[in-house]
Structure 1
């Protein structure tokens, strides 16, 4: 599992808490599939990362919308959460997150990850025991502005240039 998009996703989700990058990693993995649809498990993970990103930034309306979309996707297609590294109890956590979002300030979730995901993250860490690593996972709370506001602070010059070129092509045609 190590160095797979799923491993990278969980590293960013749990350890780095860079939810914007989580979204990018999983969206890329999803679009690399031969036949991808908006009903795939990867979309579920993108929605969870998006919800966490919005919630941390105080956009509870956007967060709630993304959590609900993730939950609806899961309920409509009831895919195996274990296949994407989560235990079934994660669904109850999302439901609780939705219920509490307007009254409880953001705090990173303690994701109920499978042993496979935990072990892959642990093996990539510098910890000498899984117990110390587990304790560390429960204590992480990233608050630096560079991570929290990544979408606002990132370099978008290539996107802006591409849009300008497309607009110029459209004007010529």
Structure 2
């Protein structure tokens, strides 16, 4: 009923608070969709994760920009968000409240997405239980790897892929 990548996103979002992985898993899924565009609701969900990643790191400007983009995108995609088992109006309200915290440069606090589909909620709880994790627990702000993952992870595969893409573009000219 729901794409596996989407439920993975929810798992990373609510159990691990690994917003970097939220971005990675959903971006890859989004790019595989036919006729994908930056206006897709998937992009809005990615932007939420990126905004929270920036906010947790104290990058208020980046967080504000991403959160505003997410609100703008998802405000126009209520039907798509509802089909994903989320309460679209409540989601926008949560994001707007969090945006105010960012605007006021308040410390990061974890948020939960408003899942209204009981079946989806059960899928999520089952995923958490299999990993012995608690659904909706707060982010571990002392976990430097989680907070600064983009600077601490091995990026050799990303760098190699970018080189290959650059070479392809050069050869096509």
Taking the aligned partners of 2:170 and 2:30, their CA distance within structure 1 comes to 30
TM-score by length of 1: 0.82
The partner residue of 1:137 within 135, 138, 161 is 135
Which stretches in structure 2 are left out of the alignment for 5+ residues?
none
Give the whole-Å Cα distance in 1 for the aligned partners of 2:82 and 2:76: 17
Helix, strand or coil: the match of 2:129?
Answer: coil
Partner of 2:75: 75
Q: Is the 8 A contact 2:67 2:95 kept in 1?
A: yes
- The number of equivalent residue pairs is 165
Which consecutive residues of structure 1, in runs of 5 or more, have no partner in the other structure?
128-132
Greater displacement, 107-116 / 147-156: 107-116
Q: TM-score, normalised by structure 2?
A: 0.82
The separation in 2 between residues aligned to 1:77 and 1:111, in whole angstroms, is: 15
The alignment yields a C-alpha RMSD, in angstroms, of 2.6
- Aligned residue number for residue 110 of structure 1: 112
Distance in 1 of aligned mates of 2:125 and 2:76: 33
Are 2:122 and 1:124 aligned? no
The structure having more radius of gyration, on CA atoms, is 1
Partners of 2:98 and 2:24 lie apart in 1 by: 23
Aligned to 2:153: 154
